[in-house]
């Protein structure tokens, strides 16, 4: 079964840059689009990146997404960190059978 692995938690200071990785268990992560969601406590997830590196309207350009085929990973990078960025972040993709897969989630602490 295809799986996506994320670090359990990351932390960084306000104003700095943080990168959250999402590693595919098999195949090429570059073959299927990766989405990233932000989830604040008590709220539904919202999209911050879709189709690897596209930002929905309203999402600041401090958020960016990329794919690294050499490590079979996707990454979400947040620059100029703000305390409001503190949340859980999930990557999501799909496998060859069109089954949706979520990563386990990464808790971002901005301290």
Partner 1 sequence: QVQLQESGPGLVKPSETLSLTCAVSGYSISSGYYWGWIRQPPGKGLEWIGSIYHSGSTYYNPSLKSRVTISVDTSKNQFSLKLSSVTAADTAVYYCAGGGGVTTNFDYWGQGTLVTVSS
How many residues sit in the footprint of partner 1 (CB under 8 A)? 26
CB-CB contact of 102 with 4 (8 Å) = yes
Contacting residue, 33, 38, 67, 78, with partner 1 by CB under 8 A: 33
Candidates 9-17, 28-36, 59-67, 70-78 — which segment interacts with partner 1 by CB under 8 A?
28-36
- Closest to partner 1 by CB, 24 vs 45, is 45
Q: For residue 26, with 0-12 CB atoms within 10 Å meaning exposed, 13-18 middle and 19 or more buried, which class applies?
A: exposed
**From the CB of residue 82, how many other CB atoms can be counted at a distance below 10 Å?**
12
What is the residue whose two structure tokens read 């901005």?
A: 110
Minimum CB–partner distance for residue 37 and partner 1 (Å): 8
Could you tell me which residues come within 8 angstroms of residue 103 by beta carbon, excluding any fewer than 6 positions away?
4, 5, 6, 22, 90, 91, 92
Of the candidate spans 11-19, 29-37, 57-65, 66-74, the one that interacts with partner 1 by CB under 8 A turns out to be 29-37
Cβ closest to partner 1, residue 19 vs residue 104: 104
Binding region for partner 1 (CB under 8 A) out of 10-18, 62-70, 72-80, 97-105: 97-105
């Amino acid at each position: 079964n295809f799986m996506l692995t994320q670090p359990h938690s990351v932390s960084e200071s306000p104003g700095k840059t943080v990168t959250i990785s999402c590693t595919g268990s098999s195949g090429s992560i570059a073959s299927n689009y990766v989405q990233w969601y932000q989830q604040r406590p008590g709220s539904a997830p919202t999209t911050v990146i879709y189709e690897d590196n596209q930002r929905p309207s309203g999402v600041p350009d401090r958020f960016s997404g990329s794919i690294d085929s050499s490590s079979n990973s996707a990454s979400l990078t947040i620059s100029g960190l703000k305390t409001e960025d503190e949340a859980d972040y999930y990557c999501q993709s799909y496998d060859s059978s069109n089954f949706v897969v979520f990563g386990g989630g990464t808790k971002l602490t901005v301290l």
